[in-house]
């Protein structure tokens, strides 16, 4: 994650010729490998990743990026060792408890996408409070995908439209790519212009499968 800050530093600064990407997506990966390479416990890698998240958000805001979407916790992450999952959830609690005032000072709006019901109730409540507390901010729209999967997203949109069609609210013959896309998790945002994946892997890992149709990638 830290190494990719250099790439963001190359994005044109606000007011300098050359537009930045309007919407940047980042797959946050490689924290464990970063820690192992430095002979540190895996927890150190996740803590460093959480710290760099703030730096990335600040760099994007400074350069005029309007939308930043981070893949922080996938549906597959539940398969990790229980101790690691507990650590990741605790890091989320810490951010949602300690950093909301800072987000407001920097005019960052925070929201979450994904299936939240699997998270502990207290964490769900912290997410809702953070979204409410930052709802009026407009400098940077920060979306964090948690318990999210691209296949889940598409299936969820299909089920929503199927129920609407069964109720007679939607004509199946009138469903288009555009109308389908509006029912996805990021349906109210422009598609990502650029996706950065940290950690050295070269795959999408089930992230924003529909939204990435015309996105450029940096691995």
How many CB atoms are located within 10 Å of the residue 211 CB?
23
* Domain assignment present for 173: yes
- Boundaries of domain holding 38: 21-218
- Looking at the structure of the chain, the number of domains it has is 1
User: Which pLDDT does position 33 carry in this prediction?
Assistant: 59
Domain contains 5: no
Establish if 184 belongs to a structural domain.
yes
Where the chain has pLDDT below 70, the residues are: 1-18, 29-49
Surface-to-core class of residue 25, CB atoms within 10 Å of its CB (0-12 exposed, 13-18 middle, 19+ buried) = buried
Provide the H-helix boundaries in 2-137: 5-9, 31-37, 42-62, 82-98, 100-105, 121-133
Q: Which of 29, 147, 153, 211 is catalytic?
A: 29
Q: Please confirm, yes or no, whether 104 is among the known catalytic residues.
A: no
Is position 85 within any domain? Answer: yes
Domain at 98, CATH number: 3.40.1180.10
What lies within 8 Å, CB to CB, of 29 at 6+ separation is: 197, 198, 199, 201, 205
* Helix axis angle, 82-98 to 42-62, nearest 10°: 40
Write down the pLDDT at residue 20: 86
**Domain assignment present for 135:** yes
Tell me, yes or no, whether 6 lies in a domain.
no
Question: CA–CA distance from 94 to each of 47, 91, 98, 142, 155 (Å)?
Answer: 11, 5, 6, 17, 32
Does 9 reside within a domain? no
Q: Give the pLDDT confidence of 71-103 residue by residue, as tens digits.
A: 988 888 898 889 889 988 998 998 899 989 999
Catalytic-residue membership of 31: no
Question: Which pLDDT score, from 0 to 100, does residue 155 have?
Answer: 98
pLDDT of residue 13: 46
Is 83 part of a structural domain of the chain? Answer: yes
* Active-site annotation holder among 62, 77, 99, 193: 77
């Amino acid at each position: 994650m830290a190494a990719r800050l250099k790439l963001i530093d190359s994005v044109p600064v606000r007011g300098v010729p050359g537009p930045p990407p309007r919407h940047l997506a980042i797959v946050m990966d490689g924290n464990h490998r970063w820690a192992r390479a430095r002979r540190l416990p895996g927890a150190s890698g996740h803590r460093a990743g959480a710290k760099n998240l703030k730096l990335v958000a600040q760099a994007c805001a400074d350069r005029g990026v309007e939308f930043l979407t981070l893949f922080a916790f996938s549906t597959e992450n539940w398969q990790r060792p229980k101790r690691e999952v507990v650590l990741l959830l605790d890091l989320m609690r810490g951010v949602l408890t300690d950093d909301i005032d800072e987000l407001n000072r920097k005019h960052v709006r925070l929201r979450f996408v994904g299936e939240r019901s699997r998270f502990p109730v207290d964490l769900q409540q912290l997410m809702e409070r953070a979204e409410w507390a930052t709802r009026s901010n407009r400098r940077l729209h920060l979306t964090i995908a948690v318990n999210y999967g691209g296949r889940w997203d598409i299936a969820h949109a299909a089920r929503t439209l199927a129920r609407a069609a069964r109720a007679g609210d939607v004509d199946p013959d009138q469903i288009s790519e555009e109308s389908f896309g509006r029912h996805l998790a990021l349906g109210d945002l422009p598609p990502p212009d650029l996706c950065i994946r940290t950690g050295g892997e070269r795959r999408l890992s089930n992230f924003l499968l529909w939204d990435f149709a015309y996105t450029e990638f940096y691995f």
